[in-house]
Structure 1
């Protein structure tokens, strides 16, 4: 990875404009993004509901990096690099599972749920098992959501914990279950996927179903109709539900009103789940949107939480994972119909896939020049790209300093 070339690309970026072509398409940029952005940031990994009992695990990929999250016998949730300390094989296959111990399928090295190596056959007498446990990663939980950071020195997490907890806790994610999960392969750079997910400039025409309930013409905090928003905010205050906004440069959360006459973020604006995640306000509490840079956003309503994750695979491919969480006691076919639950966001994700892939195809043109964002319609896209550039430039500055010191 040539940092001088990367720095030149960032130096060419005009404020308020889309990124230079090379920051979307160059394979060296993807390697940089994984190291400087995904390797240095807090990432939303999933939900405590996915590792409910001791021995439950979530095996996931961050790009090409295998990650393992396990609930131990002491009820603590821990994160590890999912790489055997023998020759590096993946210990637990991707997905969810449960195991009394973690056993590598290659040579049967076996670890306890805390990552400690228990057994390694046919090793010499001077082999020290205590030196070969699974390598840990940083993991934090907030109101049922799990966050990981792969950096040895992660960014401060305390403000997010303090400010997000009261906004998210009413949605009862500690008593949720994943009702459905989908993965879309999008042939577009991950930053184009995320820019698309950070603006609604395209929503009125690109998402006619979403536009029924979602305030698609709103700006940063989704308050396009001031009178409607003021009434909603007063009602939330009376119910004791905080609305925010709360934020740092790498995350943002706020509760907002759905369009007038709409009580649920569904295909017809009507509730679809009888067993609510939040019973306050009889289910009419808008949506609490929370977003984490660089890769996710969630909408938590009274009925469900929808979570969106974008993971880079190559400069031209991104995997978009969607998760729908409902109350742990909600019964499919009784309390909700799965097709209706997932309809709105499935359609929206498929529409966004087409839009992002078309965007990527155009960025490949020799005639591509970065155009200006709309400050009114795309403030969150500007926020994302500005954060990305600051994060990248801070990493480049540290690397330059380290290389000068080494020289």
Structure 2
């Protein structure tokens, strides 16, 4: 609860006040997890100005193949052009704003609005607009672009006119991801889950393992639940042997990080090779051939919304996208080698079992967390320095990001690509 009445303040003034109220090392004041106006602000100040993990190149493998998705109320699309280049756009017709392509993956040489049949090519240029006057200039009504970048088979997008610097992230992550050959993968499973909790609670939960021993018995078999921020475990001999083995195999380990991203390869618990129920590989055709696929987990994460684990036999991706102030869409994907056959090289049940169970357990934890945060008795509490270091890192990053957006004065509204 606030110690000062904020009635009459603008949203920006309230946010600055709340930032001043927050104690270092503590979770956020209540309104950050509940207020609809702050969610709208989060979308403008955080999601629209960040690099977001949109998916994987193998979801758009051929010219004309595309993936469309909606983030909060904003439909987006990435399509591979006839020249092989991935391009992204706001998935909204320049006529009267209708969503052009439905969410999901597909293939089309042209983007045809279902409302009035305005047609765009795969560069976003308007090619047909029936019944418009003779002097109508189609060149002025192309789709509004978004930035697209790739790293070793992953696809990132940013909606801002001037996105954050990306090259250092690419250069650091690319060699770590390269052994996993994501360009030679396929999406074997894609599940969504709606959690009745604010997106920041979802991400805080996903950034710590303080709760893992008690609430994730399956994950705790293989995951080093007592590891610190860069997944340094207390078993130094185990870690040292793993790092020496990776070095001999020519597989980079890290860690590498910057303000909004981090990546590191770490060993699983002794005697285990993959993040599965029994710790054994669940896909007989590995993604990583070196060391028989026994290469630990490459975990990479980026703010504000994602983390992923690349194992020797599969890759798992987690993404959290806000729907409402107390509702979040969680997207989970599992990738395996493109030649792996379901029912022969793997089973879908065996592939998703561990992380799907973990996501369902986390959903219950987040929803319970939200109910408690909604209480009139809620007060921010301190993070555990050892076990919640990454949750604190996320919250501090969020506070810096929105503070930087609001200051220095005078504040300027976000400029969108093509605006």
Same fold, judged at TM 0.5 (above): yes
Counterpart in the other structure of 2:311: 301
Matched, 1:66 2:75: yes
1:114: how far off?
1.0
1:402: how far off?
4.3
Counterpart in the other structure of 2:399: 389
Counterpart in the other structure of 1:263: 273
Counterpart in the other structure of 2:167: 158
Seen in structure 2, the aligned counterparts of structure 1 residues 399 and 97 have a Cα distance that, compared at 3 Å, is: farther
Q: How many Å separate the matches in 2 of 1:103 and 1:178? A: 26
Query: Which of 13, 25, 48 is matched with 2:22 structurally?
Result: 13
Q: How many Å separate the matches in 1 of 2:109 and 2:51? A: 29
Counterpart in the other structure of 2:371: 361
Counterpart in the other structure of 2:285: 275
- Could you tell me the TM-score, scaled by structure 1's length? 0.98
Question: Secondary structure of the residue that 2:46 maps to in structure 1?
Answer: helix
Counterpart in the other structure of 2:247: 237
Q: How many Å separate the matches in 1 of 2:293 and 2:153? A: 20
Q: What is the count of residue pairs matched by the alignment?
A: 403
- Residues 143-181 of structure 1 show CA distances to partners (whole Å, capped at 9, x for unaligned) of 000010111000101100111110011110111110010
Query: Which of 362, 369, 378 is matched with 1:352 structurally?
Result: 362
Matched, 1:218 2:227: yes
Question: Secondary structure of the residue that 1:125 maps to in structure 2?
Answer: coil
Query: Which of 66, 85, 90 is matched with 2:99 structurally?
Result: 90
1:126: how far off?
1.1
1:401: how far off?
4.3
Counterpart in the other structure of 2:238: 228
1:2: how far off?
2.3
Question: Secondary structure of the residue that 2:368 maps to in structure 1?
Answer: helix
- Residues 227-261 of structure 1 show CA distances to partners (whole Å, capped at 9, x for unaligned) of 11111011000100000001111000000000000
Question: Secondary structure of the residue that 1:39 maps to in structure 2?
Answer: helix
1:223: how far off?
2.3
Counterpart in the other structure of 1:177: 186
Query: Which of 139, 152, 156 is matched with 1:130 structurally?
Result: 139
Counterpart in the other structure of 2:151: 142
Query: Which of 130, 133, 139 is matched with 1:121 structurally?
Result: 130
Superposed counterparts of 1:309-388, under 5 Å = 309-388=319-398
Counterpart in the other structure of 2:5: none
Counterpart in the other structure of 1:79: 88
The unaligned stretches of length 5 or more in structure 2 are 1-9, 414-419
Q: How many Å separate the matches in 1 of 2:297 and 2:149? A: 24
Q: How many Å separate the matches in 1 of 2:132 and 2:288? A: 54
1:204: how far off?
0.6
Q: How many Å separate the matches in 1 of 2:209 and 2:237? A: 21
Question: Secondary structure of the residue that 1:96 maps to in structure 2?
Answer: strand
Q: How many Å separate the matches in 2 of 1:17 and 1:189? A: 17
Counterpart in the other structure of 1:110: 119
- Residues 40-99 of structure 1 show CA distances to partners (whole Å, capped at 9, x for unaligned) of 111111000000001100001122111000000000000100000100011100001111
1:398: how far off?
4.2
Seen in structure 2, the aligned counterparts of structure 1 residues 176 and 399 have a Cα distance that, compared at 3 Å, is: farther
Decide whether the 8 Å contact of 2:197 with 2:366 is kept in 1. yes
Decide whether the 8 Å contact of 2:76 with 2:88 is kept in 1. yes
CA RMSD between the two structures: 1.0
1:399: how far off?
5.4
- Could you tell me the TM-score, scaled by structure 2's length? 0.95
Question: Secondary structure of the residue that 1:9 maps to in structure 2?
Answer: helix
Decide whether the 8 Å contact of 2:93 with 2:143 is kept in 1. yes
- Residues 176-202 of structure 1 show CA distances to partners (whole Å, capped at 9, x for unaligned) of 110010000100000000000000000
Q: How many Å separate the matches in 1 of 2:55 and 2:90? A: 16
